[in-house]
Amino acid sequence: MVAHIGTVAFVGIEARTVDVQVQIASGLPSFTIVGLPDKAVAESRERVRAALGAIGLALPPKRITVNLAPADLPKEGSHYDLAIALGLLVAMAAVASDTVQGYLVLGELGLDGAIQAVPGVLPAALKAAELDCGLICAAASGGEAAWAGEVEVIAAENLLSLINHLKGSQLLNPPKAILAEECGDFLDLRDIKGQETAKRALEIVAAGGHNLCILRLVYPQNFL
């Protein structure tokens, strides 16, 4: 049996759908993630293993393969944790497959099973609205996802509460759209004395949406 969980990959601010395919087969115990994952995605094996252990579930001593399709699209970030974990739960028959169908899933897992916020929730929610499906994310991201409009959002604080919601033994309230908290006073270029050329370059970059490479030179103490 191959479990399928929907999530997204980000190309700039564009969210592209990714099919997380999880298979548990006979063979020597292993946990492999394929599909052009970066370091953060590859490390999700340990976060997922620890999160499942925190709620009393252990991975079976079998060959576990996770494929992030399409395989030619680079996958970056830690938001694949939750989708991989749900795929494993479906493959282990701990969660029914029909309860997670029709959702895009994203969230980072803590070692204690907590679901942590990740960047890109709003573009993912807009993609879910485009596909006429729901979104599963962290509770801390629910207020952001709710701005997408008529999208069913399941926002859970931890993996256990999400599983209980999917099984019907616990009800998670739908989040309400909220504004981000004020960050206080921002730094201003007027506060920088001198460096006129550098400030001018920053202004041009900001106005034109260009790229900028900042190099920091560190000299030995006895250089001067």
Q: Per-residue pLDDT averaged across 16-22, rounded?
A: 98
DSSP letters along 192-223, please? S-S-HHHHHHHHHHHHHT-----------TT-
CATH code of 141's domain: 3.30.230.10
Q: Which pairs count as long-range contacts for 151-155, CB under 8 Å and 24+ apart, including other chains?
A: 151/125, 153/125, 154/103
Decide if 189 is inside a domain. Answer: no
Type and span of the H or E element at 21: strand 14-25
Decide if 29 is inside a domain. Answer: yes
Q: Higher model confidence: residue 134 or residue 216?
A: 134
What tens digit of pLDDT does each residue of 23-48 get? 999 999 999 999 999 999 999 999 99
Decide if 77 is inside a domain. Answer: yes
Domain count, the chain: 1
Please state, rounded to an integer, the average pLDDT across all residues of the chain.
91
Decide if 213 is inside a domain. Answer: no
Q: Can you give the C-alpha Rg of the chain in angstroms?
A: 21
Decide if 22 is inside a domain. Answer: yes
Reply yes or no on whether the pLDDT at 219 is more than 60: no
Decide if 112 is inside a domain. Answer: yes
What tens digit of pLDDT does each residue of 52-71 get? 999 999 999 999 999 999 99
Residue 181, pLDDT score: 64
Residue 223, pLDDT score: 46
Decide if 218 is inside a domain. Answer: no
Decide if 32 is inside a domain. Answer: yes
Reply yes or no on whether the pLDDT at 92 is more than 80: yes
* Structural domain containing residue 130: 2-167
